[in-house]
Every structure is written in structure tokens, then in C-alpha cells.
């Protein structure tokens, strides 16, 4: 795997993707953040050696390099999901590449269903911990040059960045939540009984991404910060018909607040 990572990293460096300080993986409906980047370079995933190609509508599939608030960053606009048929290793390969490009921190966003009864549609939830119900991307042979066999997950989400994000939200009078993100395979949204079950086992929100990338990032010692946009509710009495379009629509509405949090966090690095 290290050979493949090096091949892809060298290709990206030759295209000018040099020394980014942070990587961002943008979820459903949050693509607009890249509009604020200057001196941009973009490459479609399909033109990057060893990258899988993203197939979901609304997930564009581009790697974008540029400056954001004066810092060099690299953004994945569109991610790889397990439900698309990619293996756990393919889902997280790009994260390995970002690490070897030199990023010091990984930022992630996603759309999720809220199972905490206090949540409302449109809430932004800072992820403090997760429950991974997807196959673990580290299953298989381990390369000690990349990370240890049994990585600790006691602080999967960086405490300092969580604190900082909550401060930023308060300064901007934003409504912000904290909570546990549960990842399930999808592509079905949950039945009412499943939402209830996920709440009982400790989740605040449920989605179909993020945990594989965070696991792989932590395997390499990369600090992570992640946020969910609550696009629908999996709470008894509040469950409405959910579609990919309704999720995209609700996620887009929070874009300006998400951009504020991400911009200020990156500026604080």
C-alpha cells in the first residue's frame, strides 16, 4: 500500500499540491466552502492514479488544492462511501495520501440524521466520539511503517479543536451541538426501530461516512475534527420521509455557518 500511496503523492506534488497544512473532506451539500479558496488547482478523482471514482449524485469527486485564509489546504470535494461498493481500504485510501502530502490535521463534514431528541433540523453537531458499525478499514495486514497494529481510539476527535470550534460558534452566536456520531453502511435510511436502537446504544446522530476516514487518520496519528449537519430527525413522532435531495437541501442551508467554523479553525492552526 505504501508504494501506491507514494505513487499518488508524487503525482499530486508534480501537479503543484505541495505542503498543505490541513485536509478537508466535504460531505453532502457542503461543497461551497471551496469557493473561498484562492490560487486553486483542481483534479478530478478519475485523473488521479489509484483513486477510486465517486459515483453519488451531489458528490462531485475532485481534489482541490489552494489557499484558504492564507493557509495551504487540500480539499476532497466528494468522498468514497462503503455503500457505493468500495472496500474499506478504498474508502480511506485518499486519507493516507493526504497524510503523506503533509497535512497536520484532518477536517471532515457530513450530513446526518439526529437521534438525540433535543436536536433540530439544521443543527450543527461537533463530533466528540463515534460508534463505528461499518467494517473497520484496518482489518487485514498491517504496515508498521504507516501505523501500529492496534491503534488507540480514546481521543479520536481532537479535544483542542473541539473546544476551539465551540468557542468560535459562541462568538458568532451560532447554535451548536456536541455528540456521538454513529456510522452505518446505508444506503437505506433507518427504520424507526433502528433510529431508536441507535439512540439507546449511545448515538446522537447517524450517518453513512466519516468513521472509516477517522480510523485511518488516527492510525497515522493525524488529529481529526468533524462536524455533522443534522438534515433529518430519527426521533419518535418527528420522523419524516427522507430523500437524498432533502438531505442535500438541508445541508446547503448550514453552509455559511460551517464555513465560518472551518475557516476560523484553520486560521488558528
Q: 62 burial class (0-12, 13-18, 19+ CB within 10 angstroms)?
A: buried
State the CB neighbour count (10 A cutoff) for residue 136: 12
DSSP 123-147: -EEEEEEEEE-SPPTT-S---TTT-
82 touches ligand HPA by CB under 6 A:
no
Per-residue CA distances from 74 to 29, 209, 237 (Å):
18, 19, 41
Which one among 231, 248, 254, 257 touches ligand HPA, defined by CB under 6 A?
A: 231
Which one among 111, 168, 203, 214 touches ligand HPA, defined by CB under 6 A?
A: 111
Minimum Å gap between C-beta 52 and ligand HPA is 20
Residues 11-70 that bind ligand HPA (CB under 6 A): none
**Interhelix angle for 88-101 vs 211-219, to 10°?**
50
Sign of the alpha-carbon torsion through 111, 206, 163, 169: positive
Pick 11 or 197: Cβ nearer ligand HPA = 197
113 touches ligand HPA by CB under 6 A:
yes
Minimum Å gap between C-beta 181 and ligand HPA is 10
* Residue 148 DSSP SS3: coil
Grid cell listed for 112: 446526518
How many residues sit in the footprint of ligand HPA (CB under 6 A)?
A: 14
Choices 16-24, 138-146, 155-163, 184-192; region in contact with ligand HPA by CB under 6 A: 184-192
Max CA separation in the chain (angstroms) = 54
207 touches ligand HPA by CB under 6 A:
yes
169 touches ligand HPA by CB under 6 A:
no
Which one among 24, 25, 105, 112 touches ligand HPA, defined by CB under 6 A?
A: 112
Minimum Å gap between C-beta 18 and ligand HPA is 34
Minimum Å gap between C-beta 111 and ligand HPA is 4
Pick 113 or 147: Cβ nearer ligand HPA = 113
Radius of gyration of the chain (CA): 17
Which residues here bind ligand HPA, judged by CB under 6 A? 111-113, 186, 189-190, 206-208, 231-232, 234, 242, 247
Amino acid at each position: 500500500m505504501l508504494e501506491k500511496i507514494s505513487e499518488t503523492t508524487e503525482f499530486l506534488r508534480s501537479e503543484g499540491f505541495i505542503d498543505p497544512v490541513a485536509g478537508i473532506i466535504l460531505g453532502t451539500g457542503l461543497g461551497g466552502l471551496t469557493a473561498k479558496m484562492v490560487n486553486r488547482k483542481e483534479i478530478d478523482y478519475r485523473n488521479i492514479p489509484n483513486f477510486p471514482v465517486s459515483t453519488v449524485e451531489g458528490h462531485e469527486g475532485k481534489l482541490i488544492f489552494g489557499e484558504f485564509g492564507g493557509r495551504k489546504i487540500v480539499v476532497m470535494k466528494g468522498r468514497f462511501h462503503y455503500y457505493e461498493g468500495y472496500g474499506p481500504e478504498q474508502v480511506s485510501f485518499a486519507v493516507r495520501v493526504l497524510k503523506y502530502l503533509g497535512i497536520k490535521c484532518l477536517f471532515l463534514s457530513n450530513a446526518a440524521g439526529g437521534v438525540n431528541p433535543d436536536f433540530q433540523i439544521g443543527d450543527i453537531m461537533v463530533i466528540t466520539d463515534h460508534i463505528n458499525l461499518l467494517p473497520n478499514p484496518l482489518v487485514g495486514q498491517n504496515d508498521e511503517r504507516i501505523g501500529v497494529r492496534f491503534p488507540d481510539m480514546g481521543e479520536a476527535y481532537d479535544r483542542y479543536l473541539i473546544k476551539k470550534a465551540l468557542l468560535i460558534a459562541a462568538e458568532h452566536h451560532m447554535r451548536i451541538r456536541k455528540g456521538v456520531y454513529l456510522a452505518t453502511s446505508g444506503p437505506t435510511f433507518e427504520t424507526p426501530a433502528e433510529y431508536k436502537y441507535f439512540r439507546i446504544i449511545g448515538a446522537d446522530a447517524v450517518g453513512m461516512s466519516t468513521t472509516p476516514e477517522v480510523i485511518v487518520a488516527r492510525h497515522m496519528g493525524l488529529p481529526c475534527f468533524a462536524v455533522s449537519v443534522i438534515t433529518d430527525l430519527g426521533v419518535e413522532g418527528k420522523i419524516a420521509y427522507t430523500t437524498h435531495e432533502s438531505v442535500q437541501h438541508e445541508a446547503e442551508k448550514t453552509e455559511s455557518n460551517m464555513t465560518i467554523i472551518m475557516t476560523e479553525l484553520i486560521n488558528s492552526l
